[in-house]
């Protein structure tokens, strides 16, 4: 418990430091001014969410291959954390878009594919509630999770493959893209902090799912007596 509390404290410190750096260390952007500072949280959360979903994708593949409960537990843990991240992305995006574009939402490739991704992982979690038999639930949700992950590279590549309302990538973008050196350091520190948060949450949710699975086994054995 002490290690978990320490890890949680470190994550809180990193998140606080990232927030401070975003508001007080990163220079103000010339066009959007203070509004642009949401970028350090909005984009970093999207990157962390994709990482969570990628780990879940690998866990789903391993469950289909090995049929071990730990991979099912990791898959659902990653799906929930990834979904939480993209919920934040879909909330912060319109907050940024309204003053920048004059509208909260537009159905361009990046926004639409992100919304579809959110719906897919909501469906993944709903599917798990509809199937009571554990092994069947784990297998079908793993297969659906593998299918749902197909949209992740589409979300990532949308602003690279198509012209969209969403700004062109400033990280790993084309010629002329990039950030001020201080902005870049603050952004990658925010990415690091968000990834630490995601890893911490996945670990906690994984532990909870394993306990839930053990409780379900005990409950079924008790009902069989």
128-143 residue pLDDT tens: 999 989 899 999 999 9
129 occurs within a structural domain = yes
Residue 173 reports pLDDT greater than 70: no
173 occurs within a structural domain = no
- DSSP notation for 85-139: HHHHHHHHHHHHHHHHHSSS----HHHHHHHHHHHHHHHHHHHHHH--SHHHHHH
180 occurs within a structural domain = no
Averaging pLDDT over each range in 69-73, 156-160, 165-169, which range is the top one?
Answer: 69-73
Q: Model pTM?
A: 0.91
Question: By residue range, what is the domain housing residue 94?
Answer: 2-166+187-224
Residue 175 reports pLDDT greater than 80: no
Any bridge partners for residue 29, and if so which?
33
177 occurs within a structural domain = no
Total of domains in the chain: 1
CB 155 within 8 A of CB 117: yes
8 occurs within a structural domain = yes
Residue 178's pLDDT is what?
60
Any bridge partners for residue 33, and if so which?
29
Q: What is the dihedral of CA 21, 26, 30, 36, to 10 degrees?
A: -30
**Separation of alpha carbons 127 and 144, rounded Å:** 9
By residue count, the chain amounts to 225
Q: Is 97 exposed, middle or buried (0-12, 13-18, 19+ CB in 10 A)?
A: middle
Residue 214's pLDDT is what?
84
Return all residues near 190 (Cβ < 8 A) that are at least 6 apart: 18, 21, 22, 40, 41, 44
């Amino acid at each position: 418990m002490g290690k978990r509390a320490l890890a949680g404290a470190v994550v809180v410190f990193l998140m606080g430091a990232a927030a401070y750096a975003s508001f007080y260390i990163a220079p103000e952007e010339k066009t959007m001014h203070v509004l642009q500072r949401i970028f350090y949280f909005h984009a970093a959360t999207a990157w962390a969410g994709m990482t969570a979903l990628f780990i879940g994708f690998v866990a789903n593949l391993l469950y289909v291959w090995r049929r071990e409960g730990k991979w099912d537990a990791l898959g659902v843990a990653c799906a929930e954390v990834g979904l939480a991240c993209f919920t934040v992305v879909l909330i912060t995006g319109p907050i940024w878009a309204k003053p920048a574009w004059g509208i909260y939402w537009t159905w361009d490739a990046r926004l639409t594919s992100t919304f579809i991704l959110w719906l897919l992982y909501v469906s993944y979690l709903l599917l798990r509630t509809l199937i009571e038999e554990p092994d069947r639930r784990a297998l079908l949700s793993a297969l659906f999770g593998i299918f749902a992950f197909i949209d992740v590279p589409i979300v990532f590549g949308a602003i690279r493959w198509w012209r969209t309302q969403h700004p062109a990538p400033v990280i790993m973008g084309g010629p002329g893209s990039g950030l001020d050196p201080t902005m870049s350091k603050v952004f990658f520190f925010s990415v690091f902090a968000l990834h630490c948060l995601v890893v911490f949450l996945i670990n906690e949710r994984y532990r909870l799912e394993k306990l839930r699975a053990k409780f379900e086994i005990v409950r079924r054995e008790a009902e069989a007596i």
